[in-house]
Structure 1
Amino acid sequence: LISSYELDSHIPILYPELKQFIKSFRPQEESMQDLIKKQERKKEHVFFAISNCQANIVPDRLEFLEKLQYPTASFGKCLGKESNLNQEWNSRAKQGSTEHILKMSNYLFAFVAENSFGMDYVSEKIYHALRAGTV
């Protein structure tokens, strides 16, 4: 028997974040007006938190962000340029933590790059961005 994230394995194991993400789709108490106001308060930057600057799997992701020609908010060790809203990422704010999701939720957009490639692989960072309400 094979157990992995691949959907064709005998026992597919999905991320624990998926369970939290699905739970978040419950009836909302907020009105449409409140949701629109919340979106209007978001910063028009691309949020990203990359600390593995030398990842061999996706070597072009930092180059892509540099060439994006759109304001970015860097919360990792990579791309610490003065032109960005560079802030040192707090070591307590691990990927998927409450602090991480709350910080990401302040931005309209999030850049989430895969750290590896594989059939059926979806980065857990996708679920984090969706939970934070970013695009």
Structure 2
Amino acid sequence: TNKRFNCHMRGNRTDEQYEVADILVNHRRVLPVHRRGGPPYLTLLYSGESKESLGYYGTESYLRRHDMVISCHHYRKHYYTWARQHAKLFASIVEGNRARPVPEEQLWDEWASRLSAVAVFSSSSAAHRGEFVDELSMHYPVHSYGRFMRTNATPAECSHLEDRYELKMCVLRNYKYAIALENTEENDYVTEKVYHALLAGSIPIYWGAPNVDEFVPMGSGSIINVKDFLPGRLGRRGNWSAGNVSEEVGRFAAHLSRLEHDEAAVKHMLAWRTATDERTWGRKFLDNLHHEDPTCAACAEALVKPNRVAQR
């Protein structure tokens, strides 16, 4: 329908809201029984997790119990992207460059002045992420600020910040590299981690979605993909103990050290930050960056569902 309408989203469900709601948003819970009366409503599973993380709640038998499913997976009728949630920040880079172009030399000088270390914000060691960070710290400086394996205090210039995102970005701006490891290797599952690193001007150390090149500016050339150095090591199915993993991580650390002196390579990885036209970032990335929020689609489905039910 093209008819304009209002759609109000409410949290902290009450019995009163439940009885009159048009949409029931569910996330990894047992679906409630249908209410005794009132107009038909739409049951929606809205998940920001990977299918692997959802376990039973990601199986088709559970998903089929909903009228609609929204996740990050592009094979669904309606999906969301983490890129879109950062669209304004990416746009501000282009707008800033148009007003005052940033030469690549300036990007290199700024990056080279940062700490030669890897910044980590992690709340879990799952998927061998903890083992990777721990082993990497034996070959290259690693500074951890998350709830898990914290090694460093918040820098003084960032300690006054109460917003978690602003604090994280303040810290990352001090570092050449930032960890951006997903918890699973799943197409389309690209979360906020890689965008935080990119927008802070750090080079992301990424592991996760095989099609990550569709979700970052100028493709995978703007990130370091751990899979290229340690294939089959990370993830819940990864084998961390086979072979000489220390040697592999050592080679990865050596690559980070070499980049510190490879001006041409670093300029290439940071080139996306000089864009005055977002189209240079690549069509697939732009498709994800400007993908329509699926919330309105869910509201539209709820608007027409009563008519469909009445016609049965």
User: What TM-score, normalized by structure 2, do the two folds share?
Assistant: 0.36
Deviation of the 1:6 alpha carbon: 0.6
Distance 1:41 1:117, change over 3 A: same
* Contact 2:70-2:78 at 8 Å conserved across structures: yes
Secondary structure, counterpart of 2:180 in structure 1: coil
Deviation of the 1:25 alpha carbon: 4.1
Which residue does the alignment assign to 1:51? Answer: 123
Which residue does the alignment assign to 1:3? Answer: 70
1:109 paired residue among 177, 181, 186 = 177
Secondary structure, counterpart of 2:118 in structure 1: strand
Number of aligned residue pairs: 125
Deviation of the 1:80 alpha carbon: 3.6
Runs of 4+ with >4 A deviation? 88-91
User: 1:70, 1:37 → 2: CA distance?
Assistant: 21
* Contact 1:21-1:127 at 8 Å conserved across structures: no
1:91-102 equivalence runs, <5 A: 92-94=162-164, 97-102=165-170
1:73 paired residue among 137, 143, 165 = 143
Greater helix fraction, Structure 1 or Structure 2: 2
Distance 1:42 1:79, change over 3 A: same
Gaps of 5+ in 2: 1-67, 204-312
* Contact 2:124-2:130 at 8 Å conserved across structures: no
Matched, 1:119 2:187: yes
CA displacement, residues 101-127 of structure 1 (integer Å, 9 cap, x when unaligned): 121121010111213554310121011
User: What TM-score, normalized by structure 1, do the two folds share?
Assistant: 0.76
Percent identity of equivalent pairs: 25
User: 1:130, 1:24 → 2: CA distance?
Assistant: 13
1:62 paired residue among 100, 125, 130 = 130
* Contact 2:117-2:176 at 8 Å conserved across structures: yes
Which residue does the alignment assign to 2:153? Answer: 87
Distance 1:22 1:9, change over 3 A: farther
Gaps of 5+ in 1: none
Of structures 1 and 2, the one with the larger relative CO (CA 8 A, separation 6+) is 1
Secondary structure, counterpart of 2:167 in structure 1: helix
CA displacement, residues 90-109 of structure 1 (integer Å, 9 cap, x when unaligned): 69352xx2221121121010
